[in-house]
Amino acid sequence: MSPKARSRHMAKIRSRDTKPELAVRRALRLLGFKFRSGNTTVARLPGRPDFVLSDRATVLFVHGCFWHRHMNCAANRTPKTNIAFWRKKFAGNIARDRKATRELRRLGWRVLTLWECQTGSQNHLLQLLDRKLAAT
């Protein structure tokens, strides 16, 4: 892929209300969980979690497998062009995720991460969320 084509492709990628986030939002509602997303409370927290379940002192991140390097996932591949840039970019993303998780835990939050590949099947997602959030 040419640099110009890569740039056009990457510019189309959304940072909010992605398909995985919408799937998780729908599942949380179906399960009856109260949550906040995309408001000032969420924006003030380290790492800007995708969902905050205040009554459970839990924050939830929905990570894209490509951007956040989900291990052993088919989407975890490095583009063949500009490899040094991508390695640095991915390393920075991982470091930022770890820092946000540490800070949130220090503040008393329970931090959960869901991966994009876990959101494809609504039944699987409902079971996963129910299991992860039942422990809180």
Residue 8 included in any domain: no
- For 123, the domain range is 15-129
The tally of CA atoms less than 13 A away on the side-chain side of residue 120 is: 4
32: CATH:
3.40.960.10
Of the candidates 131, 90, 95, 93, the residue with the CA atom closest to the CA atom of residue 112: 131
Closest Cα partner for 19 from 76, 71, 56, 65? 65
Give 12-63 pLDDT, tens digit per residue: 555 567 899 999 999 999 999 999 987 777 778 999 999 999 999 999 999 9
Q: How many domains does the chain have?
A: 1
pTM of the model as a whole: 0.83
* Segment 94-125, tens digit of pLDDT: 999 999 999 999 999 999 999 999 999 999 99
pLDDT at 71: 87
